[in-house]
Amino acid sequence: MKTSEIIKAIHKMDTNSLNEVISACKLRRNQIHYQDTQSFSVGDRVSFKGRGGVIEKGVIEKVKIKYILVRTDTGPRWNVPGSHLKKIKETTSA
């Protein structure tokens, strides 16, 4: 089913049906956050876009259920959803 068809169907729903759709959307979003989070491990180098669009880099300290605790190179710790993180490939120089 296309997104436009889904939106048309939503416009025709009553309150109970809308509540069911909202619950299903929240559940799916939680599943996606969980899957994204599980692809990271403690010690991984990551980057993410912080406040003001500044790219922050750091190391994962703790992997939680839906969020990841990252200690940035500048010091502060951030709770970041897994979907907002990108792994930084470590380059080794010999």
- pLDDT tens digits along 15-34: 999 999 999 999 998 888 88
Average pLDDT over residues 8-15: 96
Element at 51 (helix H, strand E): none
Q: How would you classify residue 43: left for phi > 0, otherwise alpha for psi between -120 and 50, otherwise beta?
A: left
Count of CA atoms in the C-beta half-sphere (13 A) of 67? 6
Give the SS3 label for residue 75: coil
Query: Which residue shows structure tokens 């969980």?
Result: 34
Domains along the sequence of the chain with CATH: 1-89 (2.30.30.140)
pTM more than 0.75: no
Q: How far apart, in whole angstroms, are the C-alpha atoms of residue 10 and residue 27? A: 18
**pLDDT at residue number 30:** 86
pLDDT at 80 over 90: yes
pLDDT band at 92 (very low <50, low <70, confident <90, very high): low
List phi, psi (to 5°) of 91: -110, 125
Strand partners, 27: none
- pLDDT tens digits along 33-76: 888 899 999 999 999 998 889 999 999 999 998 899 999 999 89
